[in-house]
């Protein structure tokens, strides 16, 4: 029986190699550790040393694919040999234990725990925090990778592996999820979950390593090498919406070292949404310098919640912004309207960290020669 997904030309939705840029994943990933757990820099090693230690490396972005299309998440890493009390995981999933905003978890993962291998389906569709269905290697229904299957392969968790999680539509519209590994130039599928129980297909890429309490484990290490998500249907299109004070202007004094004219972030209810800035618009009565700041700290913000079905909220009340990274900047002449396109992967999407706390984008304006009035807006494309 054929196990290959029926797909056309794949379109990349998300692609990060941790060997680049110091290996930290840049703005694309966030990490959390507890106890003596650590995350390194070179190819992102995760390390634990004693019971209770935990290290997590997860993409900030929850990657969605167009409805009815094949979605392939590829995660490359090393689960490690493990042993008693050691659990490592890699896949497309999140965890209720880490979230402050909405404690639910869903997704699919490869797991090595107490020296044994599993594929796992996690679902919060019942309204709970997320229930795991763990299938041991001896019960994998396509190829057990024990040397006796059709592939003749034997799985080695101590080596770097390319894991694939393929979500596709089958007859009747029910979702089917296949778990596989890339070896010898081809994909070997090891297990299929028919009738996917996960609540959502919008999932992050995630790596975990934990030394379990009471498990008798000690020092262990796992590695994250790269991650990508592709779709047979191309990137999903969102709904465009404009954020800002509309015709209301901000009074920018020449004495101000910063004026956060407009800021945007994901709302608490939209922390798992896909939302990307597409353009900024600015006009000012005085010569001005403007910059788009990612991750700055605001003073005096008063967030305006989004309408029903939308995910981004905005602020026009903050009095100062500090820190953060400048994504783009420029100089504005008096009375000229500037429309700056922000489309493409050069500008990271609105995201939140592992706990669900959102990252803020701020359009900061500073007048150069005299005080003035500034009108600003930001365009976003939202997909829930």
CATH number, domain of 314, equals 2.60.120
Shared domain check, 213 and 303: no
Q: What is the DSSP letter of 245?
A: -
pLDDT of residue 167: 86
Shared domain check, 204 and 265: no
Shared domain check, 274 and 214: no
User: Residue 383 above 90 pLDDT?
Assistant: no
Shared domain check, 260 and 209: no
Shared domain check, 267 and 217: no
What is the distance between the alpha carbons of residues 273 and 275, in angstroms, rounded to a whole number? 6
pLDDT of residue 101: 79
> What is the pLDDT averaged over residues 53-78?
87
Q: Can you say how many angstroms the Cα of residue 186 is from the centroid of all Cα atoms in its chain?
A: 27
Beta strands in 170-300 (DSSP E): 175-183, 186-194, 205-211, 220-231, 239-243, 250-252, 260-266, 274-284, 288-294, 297-299
User: Residue 1 above 80 pLDDT?
Assistant: no
Shared domain check, 250 and 224: no
Parent domain of 277: 239-383
Shared domain check, 273 and 137: no
User: Residue 13 above 80 pLDDT?
Assistant: no
pLDDT of residue 65: 67
Q: Flag whether 5 is in a domain.
A: no
Q: Flag whether 38 is in a domain.
A: yes
**Last-in-domain residue among 207, 231, 255:** 231
Shared domain check, 180 and 253: no
pLDDT of residue 212: 94
Question: What are the structure tokens assigned to 283, written together?
Answer: 């006009």
**Last-in-domain residue among 231, 247, 273:** 231
pLDDT of residue 330: 95
What's the number of domains the chain is made of? 2
**What percentage of the chain exceeds 70 in pLDDT?**
87
Q: Flag whether 4 is in a domain.
A: no
End-to-end CA separation in angstroms for the chain: 35
User: Residue 90 above 80 pLDDT?
Assistant: yes
Q: Flag whether 143 is in a domain.
A: yes
Q: Flag whether 6 is in a domain.
A: no
Shared domain check, 220 and 302: no
> What is the pLDDT averaged over residues 115-131?
90
**Mean pLDDT for the chain overall:** 87
pLDDT of residue 71: 85
């Amino acid at each position: 029986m054929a196990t290959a997904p029926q797909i056309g030309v794949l379109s990349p939705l998300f692609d990060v190699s941790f060997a680049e840029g110091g290996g930290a994943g840049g703005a694309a990933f966030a990490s959390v550790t507890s106890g003596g757990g650590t995350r390194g820099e070179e190819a992102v090693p995760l390390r634990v040393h004693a019971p209770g230690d935990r290290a997590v490396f997860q993409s900030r972005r929850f990657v969605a694919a167009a409805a009815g299309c094949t979605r392939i998440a590829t995660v490359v890493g090393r689960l490690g040999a493990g042993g008693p009390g050691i659990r490592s995981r890699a896949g497309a999933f999140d965890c209720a234990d880490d979230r402050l905003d909405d404690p639910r978890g869903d997704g699919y993962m490869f797991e090595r725990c107490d020296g044994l291998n599993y594929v796992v389906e996690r679902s919060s569709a019942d309204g709970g925090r997320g229930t795991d269905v763990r299938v041991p290697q001896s019960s994998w229904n396509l190829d057990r990778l024990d040397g006796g299957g059709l592939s003749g392969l034997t799985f080695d968790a101590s080596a770097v592996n390319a894991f694939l999680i393929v979500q596709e539509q089958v007859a009747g519209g029910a979702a089917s999820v296949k778990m596989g590994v890339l070896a010898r130039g081809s994909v070997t599928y090891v297990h299929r979950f028919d009738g996917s129980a996960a609540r959502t297909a919008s999932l992050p890429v995630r790596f975990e390593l934990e030394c379990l309490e009471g498990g008798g484990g000690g020092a262990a290490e796992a590695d994250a090498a790269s991650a990508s998500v592709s779709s047979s249907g191309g990137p999903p299109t969102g709904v465009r919406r404009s954020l800002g004070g509309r015709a209301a202007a901000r009074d920018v004094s020449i004495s101000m070292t910063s004026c956060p004219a407009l800021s945007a972030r994901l709302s608490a209810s939209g922390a798992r949404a896909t939302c990307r800035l597409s353009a900024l618009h600015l006009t000012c009565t005085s010569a001005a310098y403007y910059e788009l700041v990612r991750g700055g700290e605001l003073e005096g913000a008063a967030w305006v919640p989004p309408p029903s079905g939308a995910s981004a909220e905005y602020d026009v009340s903050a009095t100062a912004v500090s820190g953060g990274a400048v994504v783009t900047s420029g100089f504005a002449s008096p009375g000229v309207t500037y429309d700056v396109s922000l489309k493409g992967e050069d500008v990271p999407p609105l995201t939140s960290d592992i706990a669900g706390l959102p990252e803020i984008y701020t359009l900061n304006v500073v007048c150069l020669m005299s005080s003035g009035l500034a009108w600003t807006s930001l365009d976003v494309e939202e997909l829930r």
